[in-house]
Homo-oligomer: A and B are copies of this chain.
Amino acid sequence: MNSTPPSSSASRLHPLEAATRLTPHGDHLLGHTSKDYWAFIGPFGGATAATLLRAALDHPQRIGDPLALTVNYCAPIAEGPLQVAVRPAKTNRSTQHWTMELFQTEGDILATATAVFAKRRPGWSHPIARMPAVPQPEDLAPYRVNLPTPWVDQYDMRFVGEQPLFRKTPHAEPQPAQTLLWLRDAAPRPLDFLSLASMSDAFFGRVFHILGVLVPFGTVTLTTYFHCAADDLPTDDGWVLGNAGASIYRAGFGDQTAELWSRDGRLLVTSVQATYFRDWTPPAD
């Protein structure tokens, strides 16, 4: 199995293009993890989600635009080549269902996914959720990060309110789970379903904000709904307002909710994820 590691410096590809690139390889597709989108113990989940979505999006039998994507993170993906098996499970007149699996060693599944694509038709629309009123990104400070995870550098993040600073010891009292931030690709790139899939996971673990410290944490499963058609995607400067929160942490697992809004106030994406975490423990020294 040969595959060239993606490198944004060695090619003209945008880092997200490189991270999600797939080429035919027998019955499957061949890709490669990206150092640009590395997280704590494997690739950033958003990049993996975008890679799995791309397997269906670029498939010759694909119809319509992404409506829903669920990615289940089964085990850490190691740095190196990866393969994706993709299959249209059912094609209807206006919807299409996909299943995907990601592996590095045949038979050892590292991620499973399903996606629904749909041909939208014009008709009644009814926005219910409202975009939070926030300052514009130009009026907010870029986030200067203190996280040991390269994927964060792929985004220009502008937090509304206090910049998150993660400390050595937890806050005395749990802090709010909700955060609002503008984000866009640090290297400019038109918004598309790959970037929206990736951005739907581009939020720090809510438990970090609640406790004020980093604890072992990861996404177990991510579900992202796309509320716009391809010809309806924003074509402005790429800023998206992210609104992330959570409902509960309990007995080793928690959830996360997220919305992505266009600058002109349209809800582009809603997303949920289930996460694992470990309790904070004082350093041993």
Q: Decide if A1 is an interface residue (CB 8 Å cutoff).
A: no
Q: In the docked arrangement, what's the CA distance between A159 and B51, Å? A: 43
- From A220, A247, A250, A254, residue with most partner B Cβ within 10 Å: A250
Residues on B with beta carbons closer than 8 Å to the beta carbon of A228: 250
Closest CB of chain B to A65's CB: distance in Å?
10
Residues B253 and A118 in contact, CB atoms below 8 Å apart:
yes
Main secondary structure on chain A at its contact with chain B? strand
In-complex Cβ contact of A68 among B120, B221, B246 (8 A):
B221
Closest CB of chain B to A62's CB: distance in Å?
15
Within 8 A of B (CB), among A156-189: 174, 177
Mark the stretch among A42-50, A53-61, A126-134, A141-149 that contacts chain B. Answer: A126-134
Q: A228-B250, A255-B270, A274-B225 are in contact. Are A72 and B129 (CB under 8 A)?
A: no
Q: In the docked arrangement, what's the CA distance between A97 and B227, Å? A: 28
1/0 per residue A103-137: CB within 8 Å of B?
Answer: 00000111011101010111111111100000000
Closest CB of chain B to A216's CB: distance in Å?
12
Residues B118 and A89 in contact, CB atoms below 8 Å apart:
no
Q: Decide if A38 is an interface residue (CB 8 Å cutoff).
A: no
**Number of interface residues, chain A, beta carbon within 8 A:** 64
Q: Decide if A8 is an interface residue (CB 8 Å cutoff).
A: no
Residues on B with beta carbons closer than 8 Å to the beta carbon of A112: 89-90, 97, 99, 114
- From A72, A109, A255, A280, residue with most partner B Cβ within 10 Å: A72
Q: In the docked arrangement, what's the CA distance between A246 and B125, Å? A: 13
Residues B249 and A267 in contact, CB atoms below 8 Å apart:
no
Residues B248 and A267 in contact, CB atoms below 8 Å apart:
yes
Residues A220 and B74 in contact, CB atoms below 8 Å apart:
no
In-complex Cβ contact of A272 among B122, B127, B225, B249 (8 A):
B225
Residues on B with beta carbons closer than 8 Å to the beta carbon of A97: 72, 74, 109, 112
Closest CB of chain B to A146's CB: distance in Å?
23
Residues B70 and A252 in contact, CB atoms below 8 Å apart:
no
Q: Decide if A235 is an interface residue (CB 8 Å cutoff).
A: no
Residues A128 and B247 in contact, CB atoms below 8 Å apart:
yes
Q: Decide if A192 is an interface residue (CB 8 Å cutoff).
A: no
User: In the complex, what residue of chain B is closest to A221 when comparing beta carbons?
Assistant: B68
Residues B128 and A248 in contact, CB atoms below 8 Å apart:
yes
**Which 8 residue pairs across A and B have the least CB separation, nearest first?**
A74-B90, A120-B251, A129-B247, A126-B249, A223-B223, A70-B70, A125-B250, A74-B97
Of the A-B pairs whose beta carbons lie under 8 Å apart in the complex, a sample of 17, sorted by A's number, is A68-B220, A70-B70, A72-B97, A75-B92, A90-B109, A113-B114, A116-B274, A123-B252, A124-B279, A125-B250, A127-B250, A128-B248, A225-B272, A227-B247, A227-B248, A248-B270, A255-B270
